[in-house]
Amino acid sequence: MDNLLYHRSLSLIEGLEYRIRVRATNKVGDSEPRELAETILAKDILVPPEVVVDVSCRDSLTVRAGQIISLITRVKGRPDPEITWSKDARALSRDKRTEINNNYPLCELVINDAVRSDYGKYAIVAKNSSGQAQNLKVAYVTKNSCMVSWENPEDNGGTEITQYIVECRQPSQRGWTVVSSDCTKRLMKAPLTEGCEYFFRVSAENKIGAGPPNETKAPVLAVDPIEKPGEPIDFQISEIGKTFCFLKWKKPDYDGGSRNLAYHIYQFRVQTKNEGGESNWVTTAEVMVKEQLVEPEIKIQLDGTLVVKAGDSIPIEATVKGKPQPDVKWTKDEGTAEIRKGPRLQIETGADFSKLLVTGARRTDSGKYVVTASNSAGTCSAHAKVNVLDRPGPIRDLKVSGITTDRCILTWEIPEDDGGCDIYNYIIEKCETKRGVWSVHSNAVITNKANVTLQSEAIVAGTQFSVPDAPEAPEVTKIGKEEMTVQWSEPEKDGGKPITGYLLEKREEHAVRFVI
């Protein structure tokens, strides 16, 4: 006889325990009973919900306006889970266009006559009586850890909770990361990364499986706890005017764990504030609000004369004090005209300083620069002497004397401008007339007098006076039977004396001598 499998449903009362036995019977009679070894508790077998989205709408679903939106899922669980649909985190309910059909294991959301506003993210949540961890809390948050705690589910699914699964995710992530999958206590320390936000969820698990997770509603930020900051330091009045006063203080030594400090000022008292709260007030003594008058004081930190080379820059800086803020102007030498900004000159004046800068210095920029500060309390001036070094000017009044057969004497006056510093020496050059090339005769003359072999103008070594040079070659311009006209040019040099006359000689073609 083949083995056959028989089954039959029994009506039970929930919560009662039953002993079960079975007899076989035929026409002759009943067999001996066969009894289950254990008693049976009349209670559903609990299976946690499991949701699988149909492949047709797993990634995204696109429909035309006016068509039907159909979202199909397969839901497992025992007892049958309670289904909740939502769109963009807002719960959906049945209306004239929306149908929710739960025919387990198929669960379907149908939206008729689709419109543009139906666009969005749809979600399904399935819950049954297998239970959720209760009162999920996150506390004692620091920059690198927090404490996650929870209570047992109201319903343990009919069997003892064996462990809990703790998961976390950052708001920018869609998937969850397991923090612990075998936690047996209802409290654990979760590691965090400083500056990041986290959501947590916890699932209770028994021998049947894991129940639905319980999630935190708001993320926690991984930062150290913030407390009240310390009080402002060295609170004082730094300046008083007719209609104002300036207050100053230093930030507190302790910021309460937050660098985002702000300050409240009220009737000359100040307190520090951050996300953790407000410090105690710090106050000043009584203040008489009136304008303070301080006579100007101006100084240039310069010892002696500022010496620069031509082409360099001339920087002059003055410190300025006084209340109210003095007006500052610059002048040069004994002039009264104010120095103005230009292509080579810059002036910058601040609360306690004034700077003058001359670029591409020239010899004419030498002199005394005067800076003057004035306010209602008085006037004060300071000056700086500047010397721009450049090449000396030309010598003056060059004279040649004492000409002999082999030498002459040169004398001259020193240059009108020595270039800003003492003249070391003079350089004498000579040039032979026929060659036309200048050469150094001496570069170590330290006085304004020198004996040389030649003067600056070409001379011929000899006595004081000499014969004149020959005139240019004569030229015959007119010829007659008995006379002719001869002309010539005077010589270049007259020998030191005016020419008194010329000697004209002639010679016949075959004669030997010239005759006058």
User: Mean pLDDT, to the nearest integer, of 384-389?
Assistant: 93
Q: Between 284 and 286, name the one with better pLDDT.
A: 284
Residue 261 pLDDT exceeds 90: no
Cα angle value 458/462/464 (rounded, 5°): 90
Q: Which domains does the chain have, with CATH numbers?
A: 4-37+229-278 (no CATH), 138-222 (2.60.40.10), 294-389 (2.60.40.10), 396-453 (2.60.40.10), 470-515 (no CATH)
- Minimum mean pLDDT range among 284-288, 316-320, 420-424, 486-490: 284-288
Name the pLDDT band for 456 (thresholds 50, 70, 90).
very low
| Amino acid letter for position 410 | L
For 457-511, what is each residue's pLDDT tens digit?
Answer: 454 545 567 788 888 888 877 777 778 888 888 888 877 778 888 888 887 777 6
Q: What is the pLDDT of residue 45?
A: 67
Full strand arrangement of the beta sheet holding 449-452? 396-401, 408-413, 449-452
Sign of CA dihedral 44, 49, 55, 56: positive
Query: pLDDT of 406-428, one tens digit each?
Result: 888 999 999 988 888 888 899 98
The rounded distance, in Å, linking the Cα atoms of 149 and 434 is: 115
What is the reported pLDDT for 455? 43
pLDDT band at 288 (very low <50, low <70, confident <90, very high): low
Using 50, 70 and 90 to split pLDDT, how confident is the model at 256? Answer: confident
Comparison of pLDDT for 127 and 64, the residue scoring more: 64
| Residues 181, 165: Cα–Cα separation, whole Å | 4
Query: What is the Cα–Cα distance from 427 to 415, expressed in whole angstroms?
Result: 13
CA gap 36, 176 in Å, rounded: 44
Residue 167 has pLDDT above 90, yes or no: yes
User: Phi and psi (nearest 5°) for 283?
Assistant: -120, 165
CA distances from 17 to 9, 11, 39, 42, 46 (A): 16, 13, 6, 6, 17
Q: By three-state DSSP, how is residue 414 classified?
A: coil
Question: HSE of 491 in the Cβ direction (CA atoms, 13 Å)?
Answer: 15
What confidence score (pLDDT) does residue 57 get? 82
